[in-house]
Chains A and B, each alone.
Chain A
Amino acid sequence: MMRNEKCRAKRSRAVRTAAAALLLAMLVSGCSETAEQTSGGEEEVTIPMILIVDSSTGIKNEEELITEFNRIYDGKWQADVQWIMETEEEYRQNLKRQNVTDTLPAVITDLRMLPAFYYMMIQDGRIEELTEYINEDEEWKAMIEPAVLESCSEEDGSIYLGPISTAAFSCSGMFWNEELFAQAGIEKFPETWEEFWECCEQLSACGITPLALHTEGTAWAPMLIATAEAASTEEGAAFMNEFYPDTYQNESGLRIAQTLQKLFRYTTDDALYTDFDVSYDNFFSGQAAMIPNGYWMMDQIPEEWQDKVRFSPFPENKMVSSPETFGWAIVSGYSDEVKEGAAALLKLRTQLNMEQREELFSKDPEGMIPAERDYIAAYRDGPQLVPNYQVKWNSILQEETLGEILPDLALGKMTPEEFTAKEDESIAQFLEEQ
């Protein structure tokens, strides 16, 4: 009995020893594996975007919107913006290149400034139809101004452009230098076109260049004045409402050409073959007394110029406005999650614009800069809105022809008739290429 107990004790010891040795061996052999940690939850969806940095001011376009969006939707959506230093024109050309290489970001802007490209994008199914997004979101729908929704809608009622803007921020008129006007003895901005030309004469007589103009980049500044002037007549107003006019060799087309030729008599020497940035510099260096542009230039007025610069509608109470020019759209080909986030971004943009409008309109005028005060007064005065030519005319005319023929017209090397004939050639070429 004792012997058996001893044997058992021995066996027990042997088992314990073997177990200890095995444990040691297991420890030595590193049996423990590092467990991989996994995190639960849905992944944040990235919404790629490309936006430009203003080359004059260094301000990132829409930075406030992007910051707010990423804050609100942190963890769900993230707007991944690539900020690039380029002009608006370069941005638009890049849109075309990105499209043919299938590398467009999820949200694009300025699309409406390229009418042919815009319609090609629709035709090829490259941008999303937004009607469903808007109709399903009553909150968003309520923020949209009817005029903006109408301008963003196609003839068949479909909506491809985000109705993000407010008409209040899309109007263009004339920014003028009150100090230079005073030097020429002019106390207020002209109210008729006759007065406008007289004003130009008077400024010139005092050695002041009246207008800051340019010929490149769709000739934005001179075209704003010329198209506003053309809309003075009933026929001209109807012409400006035409989409892809059949011809420019008519009374309105000729009138625009004549006005353009006349305008370039009152501008700086470097106006030819240059873009809007040169005009901007000329105006904000005091070398020209007037520059036409939209409300968005309020932020770009240098601080030391804020008290000198005033704003007025074009003569005869006209303002050029096309809310759809902002041209924000969602690119097809992305996942539903990305497109949903992109729609949320467009909605937020609408909301911010609405809030800015309400804030602006309720703000004490005394706290505003003079130009902003003038703009609100002008907008409330119910001006005649002339459609923006950029959303109406063919891209060859805007992007190629105007830049080529306008200097000749300005220098008198081309008559207004020849000018309109060249414009019509662009129509033919456009139709041919199309």
Chain B
Amino acid sequence: MKKSKKRSGIQKRYLKYTAALLGLALLLSSFGVMLSVRNRLTNSIVDKYEFLTERTGLTLENMFQQTDEATAECIFYDDVQESLQTQGLEDVKHIALSKYFAYIDLDYVADYCYVDNKGNVYSRSYSDVTYQDVEESGFRRYLGDEYSRTKWFWAKDTLFGTDDYALFIGRYVRSLEYAHEPGMLFFKMEDGFLREITGMNQELTDEAAVGVIDRSGQICMSSSPEDFEEGERMPDDIAERITDRQETQASGMILAGEKVKGGILSAYLDGNSGMTVFSFVPDRLLNEGLIPIFLVLAGIYLLVAVLAVILSIYFSRRFTKPIQVIKEAMTEFDGNNFDRTIDLHTNTELDEIGHSYNKMLDNIRRLLDEIKDQERELRRTELNMLISQINPHVLYNTLDTIYMLARINKEETTMRMIQALSKYLRLSLNKGSDIVSVDDELENVKSYMEIQQIRNQSLFTYEIDCQVDAAQTYVLKLILQPLVENAVKYGFQDIFEGGVIRIVVKKDEGVLYLSVANNGTSIEQSMMDKINHMNELTVSELKECFPDKKHGYGVVNILTRLRLKYGDGAAFYCEAEADGTTCTIKIPGDGGLKDDEK
């Protein structure tokens, strides 16, 4: 069976959220950056064409200035001034003046015509323009109400009779000295004149559609680059847009890179000539500059995204791998194998988790061992108890019989011993609760001491000082007897008489103290330390304190039972006195109560 590699849930989520956040951040930043770049780049391109259009507009102004100066020279010309005077010009001068206009400082003049204030016409020698033609052409109206301003106008050639549309330059010619009627001067310009204006800015004409439009919205000239693609054409309402602006602005840039259908429109109005130079830049040109930048940006974002994903996977693995190890160790723990510990070195909190797990595993193992030991002990104890309870009646009956025989024989010592033993056994063999009243416990220990007194004549006497209500105070049974046994066995090992055993039962601040003191040999310091140290050990460790089983069994037994019954608050400790030893049992809080009162 093929085992598929299962990806960690945390890693999956981490990757999912990281990818979502990264995607959102990249999307928003790319949107913002691209919007910003697009705006700035578009503005930059638009500014460029706006500048080129303005430059072309300035060229237009210069061209107008040239025509203004050229016509001014004509006005100042002596023969022209003379022609305005009352007598007019002689024939010779008339012919000369007719030729004069062909040689003025103005290029692209297709035809010209000067009419003085007496109706004399001065034009090319082959021209047959008459005064009547001038009047009928209606060109006078283009000169306007102003005194003597140079005028440019785009009109159908009704003066020279070609009927084509052309740019005309006209001006009133006035006398320098006298209040005469003015003459009129008209120049018809070739198409090249307007192309000269746009042609001076080759960069603009190579890339954008350019043209010249008059105040009435007539397009006087327009040209588009050869590489204009199909469908790229100037908007139809271009004239309308420009004339609208002409009404609100006297001169200068009247359209500064305005967005129109299919591109950007810029226009410069020359207030003197009334002509407007415009340029139309198709969207294609704007986008041409944007595409490479957008491609580079897209490449950068793609690279960032790939790097981010790789780094996310790498870092997520670094963090989720230890978690995976912990998870596997925990889920695969079967309750038996305590050797599978976790070994992490990530320098993060995960190391502590692993360490805690290992510690927990160790504790569980120890607890299990303890439980097993206790179970074993319990079984053995129960077995022993069963054995000892095989037939207590036989034992009591036998003791009664012995007592009767001793009485018959008047052996009082034997009688006392049998009585004491009988009392002792009654309590010791008593089945049921392991809790007895202090009264019973003292009774039991007294029986034991009496037996020991019979065995060891004059060895010791005993005193019992019970400062509590012995009938209503309860303790674990058979806890004083081992202490008295040790006092007799070890305390009085070096004396033969005069020994005193003093038993004190008292309560202090809710804690019950039971102490057994002897005035015999003091306990050895090392033994005392060892016994007192046992209070700091666990129940399972207590059993290891006296491995030889020859000594300390009573102490271990008392302390184990106290701890099992009353918990860690219970204690047993010894104190070496100047003459003797005092062993004290400490039972905390509710230790002096019966089980059912707890």
Given A22, A101, A433, which contacts B28 in the complex, CB threshold below 8 Å? A22
Judged by a CB distance under 8 angstroms, whether B75 is at the interface is: yes
Distance in angstroms from B446 CB to nearest chain A CB is 65
Chain A residues within an 8 Å CB radius of B94: none
Interface-located stretch among B44-52, B172-180, B290-298? B172-180
A432 to B87 Cα, complex, angstroms:
7
Judged by a CB distance under 8 angstroms, whether B498 is at the interface is: no
A24 to B146 Cα, complex, angstroms:
60
Distance in angstroms from A422 CB to nearest chain B CB is 19
Chain A residues within an 8 Å CB radius of B149: 102
Task: Give B102-125 interface residues, CB cut-off 8 Å to A.
Answer: none
Give 1 or 0 for each of A74-117: 1 = CB within 8 Å of chain B CB. Answer: 00000000000000000000001101111000000000000011
* A119 with B176: CB separation less than 8 A: no
Chain B residues within an 8 Å CB radius of A123: 179
Chain B residues within an 8 Å CB radius of A395: 177
Given B29, B72, B87, B179, which contacts A120 in the complex, CB threshold below 8 Å? B179
CB within 8 Å for A28 and B32 given contacts A101-B75, A432-B85: yes
Task: Give B309-332 interface residues, CB cut-off 8 Å to A.
Answer: none
Distance in angstroms from B249 CB to nearest chain A CB is 15
* B24 with A102: CB separation less than 8 A: no
Question: Can you name the residue of chain A whose Cβ is closest to the Cβ of B75?
Answer: A100
Distance in angstroms from A46 CB to nearest chain B CB is 15
- Total interface residues in chain A, CB < 8 Å: 29
CB within 8 Å for A120 and B148 given contacts A24-B32, A25-B32, A432-B86: no
* A21 with B176: CB separation less than 8 A: no
Distance in angstroms from B308 CB to nearest chain A CB is 15
Q: Which range holds the interface residue count of chain B?
A: 20 to 34
Judged by a CB distance under 8 angstroms, whether B147 is at the interface is: yes
Judged by a CB distance under 8 angstroms, whether A38 is at the interface is: no
A114 to B32 Cα, complex, angstroms:
72
Interface-located stretch among B33-41, B194-202, B212-220, B524-532? B33-41
Judged by a CB distance under 8 angstroms, whether A26 is at the interface is: yes
* A126 with B24: CB separation less than 8 A: no
Distance in angstroms from A14 CB to nearest chain B CB is 9
* A119 with B36: CB separation less than 8 A: no
Judged by a CB distance under 8 angstroms, whether B31 is at the interface is: yes
A21 to B293 Cα, complex, angstroms:
23
Given A22, A27, A30, A100, which contacts B175 in the complex, CB threshold below 8 Å? A100
Chain A residues within an 8 Å CB radius of B21: 17
* A30 with B177: CB separation less than 8 A: no
Task: Give B47-92 interface residues, CB cut-off 8 Å to A.
Answer: 68, 72, 75-76, 85-87
Chain A residues within an 8 Å CB radius of B176: 96-97, 99-100, 117
Judged by a CB distance under 8 angstroms, whether A335 is at the interface is: no
* A333 with B28: CB separation less than 8 A: no
Judged by a CB distance under 8 angstroms, whether B10 is at the interface is: no
* B178 with A434: CB separation less than 8 A: yes
Question: Can you name the residue of chain B whose Cβ is closest to the Cβ of A429?
Answer: B85
CB within 8 Å for A126 and B36 given contacts A24-B28, A100-B174, A120-B175: no
* A333 with B178: CB separation less than 8 A: no
* B177 with A119: CB separation less than 8 A: no
A117 to B177 Cα, complex, angstroms:
5
A396 to B35 Cα, complex, angstroms:
74
Give 1 or 0 for each of B420-449: 1 = CB within 8 Å of chain A CB. Answer: 000000000000000000000000000000
* A18 with B24: CB separation less than 8 A: yes
Chain A residues within an 8 Å CB radius of B24: 17-18, 21
A119 to B32 Cα, complex, angstroms:
72
Judged by a CB distance under 8 angstroms, whether A56 is at the interface is: no
CB within 8 Å for A24 and B87 given contacts A100-B176, A120-B179: no
* B177 with A116: CB separation less than 8 A: yes
CB within 8 Å for A102 and B85 given contacts A21-B28, A24-B32, A25-B29: no
A270 to B179 Cα, complex, angstroms:
37
A26 to B36 Cα, complex, angstroms:
9
Chain A residues within an 8 Å CB radius of B40: 30
Which of B28, B35, B85, B149 has the most chain A CB within a 10 Å cutoff?
B28
Given A22, A28, A119, which contacts B33 in the complex, CB threshold below 8 Å? A28
Distance in angstroms from B304 CB to nearest chain A CB is 14
* A102 with B148: CB separation less than 8 A: yes
Judged by a CB distance under 8 angstroms, whether A39 is at the interface is: no
The 8 A-B pairs with the shortest beta carbon distances in the complex, nearest first, are A25-B32, A29-B32, A123-B179, A25-B28, A29-B36, A120-B179, A28-B32, A96-B176
- Write 22 A-B pairs (CB below 8 A) sorted by A numbering: A18-B24, A22-B28, A24-B29, A25-B32, A28-B29, A28-B32, A29-B33, A30-B36, A96-B176, A100-B148, A100-B174, A100-B176, A101-B72, A102-B147, A102-B149, A123-B179, A124-B147, A124-B174, A333-B147, A395-B177, A433-B86, A434-B178
